[in-house]
A and B are shown apart, each in its own frame.
Chain A
């Protein structure tokens, strides 16, 4: 999957949870979920579940702990899809 395509998919996934429109509009690889997008930390679990459903993958606890930014999410998703 192309990088741009992946970012677009992630963007659609996080949209319902974000609380900072400006940061969302300017979303890049460096954007963080809690710090920039102001997603309630309790909702991170739901973001993960949506990512799992979208890409048909399973994300482990230690991976989830690392998945705090768009970049980290892309890395994890990419590595999972590659294994399929």
Chain B
């Protein structure tokens, strides 16, 4: 059976742009959450959020002045940056004239593309100016805008597409690329996901009152997964990307190998048995984790660390309960667990890929990043697992297997198992 390994990664996160800065940030427990005047001006209850810091000069390192003309899609920008970085990190050139590669494809997800550009276009159209909308409205607002941009920039000739499954998107994209390589349909797949930032993408969540409004004066303390004082999630944005490759191809090229993707599972709770459009069916969540472990050919006891979905809403305790049931492990026997959202917020469609990059970095460099804002672990969680399994400071640890799960609106689930490569 073909093994699938990760040979390149890229990340654009609120607390670090680029792999090096991001690694440093997650080891140190740096928050990327800040106050945003435009959210306040729009009367948001939650005026804090995670937005990656990207200068004009930095943009020009990735996109040409022509590509940036009339460009107004933060998600596509973040996705292109992370995707191009991952491709280069894997040892490939990013070159307009590179040869078309039919063995390499791209599955890059998003929730919705170019909302700001869409708004711009609607205003022009409503003013009767449809002829003056410009040539890139479609490219920036179509769901598959990001995979279209990356496919062309990198010259990919295999499947080039975009997946979308709410907050599960990024983790699902990795599993879809994994399966394509496993099935022998591609040698390399650039996988990942991206999400826009700002009022238009976050407004609907503010209206649902699922974001915290209690930390507008203390943004760094706002995102509090697993904490007793958690009061809703903090919105984030950005992109994460990985180059997945058959082990054979990676060895042939002498590529650096970050980790192996052992397997995983994707399913849905069907909005039955307690599941709704916004709440998970626990039975399906547990099944997803169990099936991912089975698919990876390991035993639950082999999992050293978990990167949870853990958004800092009232559902965190339920998620921990589901993990303990699915793994048959609790108390001091439970693996380490952390949530990147404590530092970057909930990056929505980009969450699964950014968090997977963080998970793989842990395996590569043998550490567990800290959960910040979690000094007051929720008592319901402490009834299930030991406090020391939720690190508040980075710990150095010998790690072999890490599990990552994401859950999304629509009652959809994805769980993936990574293994350190020896």
Interface residues of A, Cβ cutoff 8 Å to B: 40-42, 45, 61, 64
Contacts and interface: CB of A to CB of B under 8 A. Distances in A.
A42 B276 CA distance: 9
B273 to A, nearest CB: 14
6 A-B pairs closest in CB distance: A42-B278, A61-B213, A61-B45, A40-B276, A45-B209, A45-B208
Contacts of B279: 41-42
B277 interface: yes
B45 to A, nearest CB: 5
Contacts of A64: 209
B395 interface: no
A41 B207 CA distance: 13
17 contacts: A40-B276, A40-B277, A40-B278, A41-B278, A41-B279, A42-B208, A42-B276, A42-B277, A42-B278, A42-B279, A45-B207, A45-B208, A45-B209, A61-B45, A61-B209, A61-B213, A64-B209
A40 B409 CA distance: 14
Interface residues of B, number: 9
Nearest to B208: A45
B279 to A, nearest CB: 7
B190 to A, nearest CB: 35
A40 B209 CA distance: 14
B82 to A, nearest CB: 31
Contacts of B276: 40, 42
Contacts of B208: 42, 45
A38 to B, nearest CB: 11
Nearest to B207: A45
Given A41-B279, A61-B45, 15 more contacts: A40-B276, A40-B277, A40-B278, A41-B278, A42-B208, A42-B276, A42-B277, A42-B278, A42-B279, A45-B207, A45-B208, A45-B209, A61-B209, A61-B213, A64-B209
Contacts of B213: 61
B324 to A, nearest CB: 24
Interface string B200-227: 0000000111000100000000000000
Contacts of A45: 207-209
A29 B276 CA distance: 27
A64 B45 CA distance: 12
B238 to A, nearest CB: 26
Nearest to B277: A42
Contacts of B207: 45
A57 B167 CA distance: 34
Interface string B57-77: 000000000000000000000
A45 B205 CA distance: 11
Contacts of B209: 45, 61, 64
A14 B207 CA distance: 19
